[in-house]
Structure 1
Amino acid sequence: MDHAGRTASSRAQMLSAEEIVSLHRRVMPEFCERIILRYNILRHVSYAQPIGRRALAQSLGESERHVRREENILRTAGLVVVGSDGIRLSKDGEDILWDLGEYVGLLVGTGRLEGLLQQEFGLRQAIVIAGDSDEDEAVKREMARVGACVLRDAISDGDVVAVCGGTTMAELAAHTVPAPGKRNVVVVPARGSLGEDVEKQADTVAALLAKKLGGAYRILNLPDDLGCELAASVAEEPRIREVLDTIKQSRIVVHGVGTAVEMARRRNISPSEIDEIVGLGAVGEAFGFYFDRDGKVVYTTSSLGLRLTDLSAVNTVMCVGGGSSKGHALAAVLYNGFPHIVVTDEGAARAALVAVGDPE
């Protein structure tokens, strides 16, 4: 081999994964689009299997003919199996899906977004899932699955884990891999419960998560929108006081993120009060506190459970939530400085960075 050949060979060996992906994007952009589409197909099948081709095409926003072509390729590759009840992942498809997710992350630049989020908001760790959960339900499920993995790795024996309610938290509990045995872990609701959908309430999420982790749980069985006087009175009841004391011992807290208006409505706040909250500049909410674009608390609701002042003593506070519509809310909550870890999606990450003036 001549010198030029040896130099080219050495250069090829030194190319990083990011550089290889960059070459793919420049030379074969259609290749990247096809990879992302096939990843999305595998991801949707993983969470909805068995799923029919028509339902799969509708969830992806693609034509059934297009999906059929990609399905045939994936079936020939041994990654999916097609039966009378629909499409399922094969064992090889399950094995390759998570590695493929890492590669797709490189294609869409989630690693760069993670670095920007950590730098902008002073986070210990940021994890960004490819896609936008506002547009794709599978992205929310993937975000919840990854959040569950991060939580599982953070837990030690003897820990008290406080979890909030909401759609994403319910998904996180549902996607937590069951522990093989019992663990010395207690799961509690971080706050009282909101809304009429029992499956999404903090008490229910705490109970399910505890069962998945092999631990115990304590619940409040109280709404989050109690008035100040009633909340103070109820807090003196022995059983409630015991649960509240346990909540204050939390070493790990997991919460979602909501827009100010969305969360105010869930709390049944009157339209006039919602107008007041919006007028104060609130864009995001967590733990009953409403934040403006700079992360400043501009409005507070009374309830039982964790307060912002309690979070300074918590070892790990993890925020899990996404969707481009929540970008400003996510930025506001992260700017307040209490979350250490964020698990979000590409849509929310990009919107949050734009909200703080970072064009990426």
Structure 2
Amino acid sequence: MRDMLDIQKLLVPDLLDSMKKRYTVLQHILVSGVVGRRTLAASIGSTERVLRGEVEFLKEQGLLQIDASGMRITEDGRLLLEQIEPLVKDLFGLTDWEERIRSRFGLKQVVIVPGDSEASPHTKKELGRAGASVMRKLVKEEEVIAVTGGSTMAEVANQLNATASMKSCWFVPARGGLGESVDLQANTIAATMAKKAGGRYRLLHVPDHLNDEAYQSLLQDDHITEVFHFIRKARMVVHGMGDAMVMARRRKVDPETTASLQREGALAEAFGYYFDRSGRILHKMPTVGLRIEDIHDMDTVIGIAGGRGKGEAILAVLRYGHEDVLVTDEAAAAEIVQLLSS
């Protein structure tokens, strides 16, 4: 297939360009559910006039349905996207990047979606869809699944749907709350995932950042302790990855600790731990939730993050060496590959 693609790129590049455009249109409609032509044109950087021709062609092929509410993908369109995904990744050059990152860090799987999730809400939705797909494939029956908070994880939750395996699973927050928008809290995301998947959930009603005195006090509460031990039964954790300084601000880390993190070269944060360029842990937050030793014992650790500014942070977490699967986007992958090359 790769040889044929190379020949087509040389002889009929216009055909491949058309294929990319039509794939992009279908993919955006898939993650949007229902979308109008004007909104779609703005999302993919096209004009309504140019888009009209592509939409009519896709409708004639039975891949799109158009009504008063907008455009939606048909089941044939959905199946086509699944079938041509490997081919499209070759067209975008993402397959080589996936294998390079996977082999470099000994991961079980790397999934890269086209685009930049920092710049495009549709790419972030596609990142969520890819993350949800990985979860569905790897989950085992009656598993406890721990999840972190954040906007990317919220998209994963929104894109999840029920499978036979997931209906018997428990979804739990990996850590306490950050005090940010309730929609982005780990508790909310765990509950949403459970509802979407037809499973069950447990919640952890404590703040994420605690001083030692408060931490020890909470551990005296029987209910908190019981939930804490239940969370530690998780065999799969699905987590985001963030820039260290951004996360320090979100977590309201005290100025002295923040200054120390900067001096020591903190680049990344994941599940409350701060990492430097080499993947060394610089600082951990005292909290009721998963500990790093719990992560080490997990059957499956899935990291999901994207955006042009996240490449260095993702790379730092990968160098820590306990990820099994990475789901990211083209923009972050490009930065990771460039950093590995240099």
Note whether the superposition's TM-score is higher than 0.5.
yes
Give matches, 1:1-360, under 5 Å: 17-179=1-163, 183-270=167-254, 273-357=257-341
Residue type of the partner of 2:234?
Answer: S
Q: What's 1:10 paired with?
A: none
Using the alignment, how far apart are the partners of 2:136 and 2:66 within structure 1?
33
Q: 1:107 to 1:329 in 2, by over 3 A?
A: same
- Equivalent pairs counted in the alignment come to 342
After superposing the two structures, state which structure 1 stretch, 184-193 or 266-275, moved more. 266-275
Map Cα deviations across residues 11-68 of structure 1 (whole Å, 9 max, x no partner): xxxxxx1111222223333332221221111111122243222111111122222222
Aligned residues of 1:189 and 1:202 also touching (Cα < 8 A): yes
Runs of 4+ in structure 1 off by over 4 angstroms are 270-273
Contact 2:273 2:283 in 1 (8 A): yes
Residues 219-267 of structure 1: CA distance to partner in whole angstroms, max 9, x if unpaired?
Answer: 1111111222212211221011001111111111110111112211211
Report the Cα offset of residue 268 of structure 1: 2.0
Letter in 2 for 1:285: E
SS at match of 1:253: strand
Distance in 2 between residues matched to 1:27 and 1:228, nearest whole Å: 67
TM-superposition CA deviations, 1:312-356 (whole Å, max 9, x none): 211111111112210001000111011111111222112112223
Q: 1:111 to 1:193 in 2, by over 3 A?
A: same
Q: Scaled by the length of structure 2, what TM-score is found?
A: 0.93
1:8 aligned residue:
none
Closer, same or farther in 2 for the Cα pair 1:63/1:274, shift >3 Å?
farther
Q: Residue 3 of structure 1 aligns with which residue? A: none
Amino acid corresponding to residue 108 of structure 1 in structure 2: F
Residue 180 (structure 1) shift: 5.8
- C-alpha contact (below 8 Å) 1:327/1:348 kept by paired residues: yes
Decide whether the 8 Å contact of 2:105 with 2:318 is kept in 1: yes
Q: Distance in 2 between the 1:60 and 1:141 partners?
A: 14
Structure 1's 74 and 130: CA in aligned 2 closer, same or farther, altered over 3 A? same
Q: Distance in 1 between matches of 2:200 and 2:267?
A: 35
Q: How much does 1:88 deviate? A: 2.1
Say what the alpha-carbon RMSD is for the aligned residues. Answer: 2.0
Query: Distance between the aligned counterparts of 1:190 and 1:352, measured in 2?
Result: 26
Identity level (%): 37
Indicate conservation of the 8 Å contact 1:50/1:86, yes or no. Answer: yes
Q: Higher Cα Rg: structure 1 or 2?
A: 1
Unaligned runs of 5+ in 2: none
Extract unaligned runs of 5+ from structure 1: 1-16
Deviation at 1:109, TM superposition (A): 2.0
Aligned-partner Cα distance in 1 for 2:257–2:46: 42
Contact 2:140-2:165 within 8 A present in 1 as well: no
Structure 1 residue 168, shift from structure 2 partner: 1.4
**Contact preservation (8 Å) 1:49, 1:86:** no
Structure 1 length-normalised TM = 0.89
CA distance in 1, matches of 2:199, 2:59: 40
| CA positional deviation for 1:94 | 2.5
Residues of 1 paired with 2:284 and 2:166: CA distance? 38
How far is 1:82 from its partner?
Answer: 2.7
